[in-house]
Structure formats: structure tokens, C-alpha cells
Amino acid sequence: MTTNWPDLDAVQSWDAADPLAACRARFALPVGTIYLDGNSLGALPRATAARVADAVTRQWGTDLIASWNKHGWIEAPARLGARIAPLIGASPDEVIVADSTSVNLFKLLAAACAARPDRSTILAEPGNFPTDLYVANGVAKMMPGRSVRTVPAAQIAAAIDQDTAVVLLTHVHYKTGAMLDMAGITAAAHRAGALILWDLSHSAGAVELDLNGCSVDLAIGCGYKYLNGGPGAPAFLFVARALQQTLSSPLSGWMGHAAPFDFGDEYAPAPGVRRFLCGTPPILAMSALESGLDTFDGTTLAQLVAKSRRLGDLLIAGIEARCVRHGFTLVTPRDPLARGSHVSIAHPHAWEICQALIARGVVGDFRAPDVLRLGLTPLYTSFEDVWQAVDRLAAVMDEGAWRDPAFAERAAVT
């Protein structure tokens, strides 16, 4: 035991003084559950069911096709993009909501490669979230002479050279929780004449982001993690204003046309970021995402970031004080400036421990082969949640509860 671990009373007083404490009531969290998986699927906002029901019953049911204009359906991709912009340090006209993260990655990566025709390499990190590498390889296969080169994150900046067309990196690593130096790596890419594309899936809504301050070219991110948009929510993409006229989407669908309702035979891309839309936006899913974005109302990015870091500090202190002796190793960097908003710990029985923890009301998740991930969502995770989670994890280990054979069974989705 170290002296670093506070009493429950102390932690409750931090919650009482937390400027974001009131935001928790915006979510319909099940009673008795400590939800530490908002980095994988954000919790359900209380307002979402009524919001989606209104889009279905009144807008679709009653106003029918008039809703495209009357209820702003056609503007939803740009409207939601503009609301994500302040969370990522972008201008409202640089962000648009569309498709999935994987599809947005395809569109921007192919556009970036086409904009650097004399360079052959997509530079990426091995061990990135699989879809990022799969899509990068798919793009390379489609474009003659292109290939994907993977280099460990720590060596990426030094590996960018005259042959690098685009550097593709995930800002906060999904498994380790490590956060990369966006400003430094972006500058290194630009010095070598390459473009950079950041995946913000585990960043947006929880960590410090300043895309324009870092002169980032391109970014993508997820709507269903910290943005609380619901399972499979539409994703977002960012294209810096300076690049919007020069890049073109490989999925040249009609919603990205300058004048979709002219119904002309010739494709002419929309002037701004809207050219990266493809087909008709999924309005019901968009309405859920809009409700997710409402949960950020009245908060500042600085508040979110400060709380995320304090939650992480507390969780790491608790793991070190009460759990490390049971064979856990801390995977996530201890430095709050070098980590995102989840904490990962490794243990040879991480799967069973994760299941035993869920049985005690603490929902985290498992990432193969041996990582237990605990996500911290500044809008609704309390300091007491973290304290209780550590207490229950310590109990699971002290009692050996994870050895129950029922916890060894594997599910399809981890």
C-alpha cells in the first residue's frame, strides 16, 4: 500500500467541487453500474430516445419528405460537423459528419495519396487499430506503385522522407492509451512535404486537441465513443480549409456535388468540405448523434481535459496502490500529457478478470491478448466511480473471484 490512495470521503469532495458533475444527469446510466467503457460505446443520453422518436414520428411520419428542408435534415452533416469543430480545434466549415470512420479514412487517404502523385508511401504505425491498417492497405492496392510502410510510433517522425505521401496515425492508441505528439509529428511530415492524417477516434471529446494550432491537414474520428452518438453512429472528417479545393473524394457521390439537385450528368465537387459527403445522410442516426453532442452544452474543452487527466491520475494511483501486487502491469503512460482518456493494464488473465469485474458492476473491456481497458469519460465518470472500480478490482484479485470457470467463456464482441 502506498499513501497515494485517498479516502472515499476525499474523493467525494472532489466530485462535489467538479464543474462537470451536473453533466452526469444528462445520461441514463443504469443504477449500480460503474461504466468505464465510454471510449468504446458512449453511454445513452437521457434526451436521445425522445429525440429519435420525434425524428421518426413527427418529422418522418407527419412531415414526410418536406422534412429535408423543414427540419434541416439536408444540413445535418454540416450542422453536426460544426458542433464537433470546437472539440477538436477546427473551424466549423472544416468538419463534416458522414459514413463510418473506416469509410472516411478511405476517402481522405485516397485523396491525400492522389495529391502526392510522386510519392509512393503511406507511413503508418504497426499495431494500430486494425481497420486503419486494413483500409490503408486497400488504398495502396488500388493505387499503382503505392505501399504501406509501418514504423513504430516513436520512430515515425524520423522515418518520414521524400517518398512519404501521407502519414497516417491514431492520436490516442486504442490499446495502450498512449497519446502521440500531434504538433511535433505534423511538423515533421510537413518539413518532408508529406500530408498527415490523424485518427481521433479515442481523442475527440476527452483530450486536448488543436488541429489548426498544429496545422493538421486531415483527420477522422468516431461518433459513438466519447461523442455519445449511439452504436454505429455516423463518423466525422476534417479537411483543413487550405486543402479543401485541391483534394477530391474517391467516392464522388451526389451529396458531395456542388449542386446535387441540378441532377446533371457531370460530377462537379462542392467547393468546401461537403465534397467529402457521398450518399444521403442517415437522419435517424444523425438525430441520435446530435443528442450526443448536446451533452457537451455549457462545457469547455479545458474542463473536459482537466477532468480526464485527474480521473486518469486517480485510477493509476489506485492500480499502483492496490492492484499491482496481483501481477498487473501498467500499459498506459503515467504522464498525463502522454496518455488519452483510458487506462490499460496487462495481466495474463485479463479476460477472466474483466468478466469478474463486470459481474461486480464495473464495465470495462478486454483487448487481446492480455489488456484490461478502463475508459474515463469526463462528462459522466465520477471520481467516486474510479475509487469504487479500484476497490472492486482489488477485491476480485484479493478473493481470487476471477478463477470461477464461468468467467473463462469468450463472447463474440469483446
Ligand X SMILES: *Cc1c(COP(=O)(O)O)cnc(C)c1O
Residues making up the binding site for pyridoxal 5'-phosphate: 101-102, 129-132, 170, 199, 202, 224, 254, 280
From residue 154, give the alpha-carbon distance in Å to each of 120, 178, 179.
Answer: 22, 11, 11
Q: How far is the CB of 51 from ligand X (least distance, A)?
A: 21
Kindly state the cell numbers that stand for 1: 500500500
- C-alpha–C-alpha distance, residues 214 and 183, integer Å: 5
Interface with ligand X includes 131 (CB under 6 A)? yes
Q: How far is the CB of 188 from ligand X (least distance, A)?
A: 21
Kindly state the cell numbers that stand for 300: 469547455
Q: How far is the CB of 177 from ligand X (least distance, A)?
A: 11
- C-alpha–C-alpha distance, residues 161 and 206, integer Å: 32
Q: 130 or 264: whose CB is closer to ligand X?
A: 130
Residues in 96-115 that interact with ligand X by CB under 6 A: 100-102
Residues in 140-199 that interact with ligand X by CB under 6 A: 170, 174, 199
- C-alpha–C-alpha distance, residues 212 and 215, integer Å: 5
- C-alpha–C-alpha distance, residues 237 and 205, integer Å: 14
Torsion sign, CA atoms 257, 259, 263, 267: negative
Q: 222 or 316: whose CB is closer to ligand X?
A: 222
- C-alpha–C-alpha distance, residues 310 and 5, integer Å: 13
**Could you tell me which stretch among 94-102, 107-115, 207-215, 274-282 binds ligand X (CB under 6 A)?**
94-102
Supply φ then ψ for residue 208, to 5 degrees. -60, 125
- C-alpha–C-alpha distance, residues 407 and 161, integer Å: 48
Listed residue (260, 240, 243, 244) closest to 252, CA to CA: 260
Q: 185 or 397: whose CB is closer to ligand X?
A: 185
List residues with catalytic annotation.
Answer: 129, 199, 224-225, 373
Residue from 222, 314, 357, 394 touching ligand X (CB under 6 A): that is 222
- Known binding residues are 101-102, 129-132, 170, 199, 202, 224, 254, 280
Interface with ligand X includes 203 (CB under 6 A)? no
**Could you tell me which stretch among 24-32, 119-127, 128-136, 236-244 binds ligand X (CB under 6 A)?**
128-136
Residue from 176, 186, 201, 382 touching ligand X (CB under 6 A): that is 201
Residues in 275-334 that interact with ligand X by CB under 6 A: none
Interface with ligand X includes 226 (CB under 6 A)? no
Contact flags string 229-268 toward ligand X, x per CB under 6 A: ------x---------------------------------
- C-alpha–C-alpha distance, residues 330 and 340, integer Å: 14
- C-alpha–C-alpha distance, residues 84 and 159, integer Å: 32
Q: How many CB atoms lie within 10 A of CB 266?
A: 6
The residue ranges that bind ligand X (CB under 6 A) are: 100-102, 129, 131-132, 170, 174, 199, 201-202, 222, 235
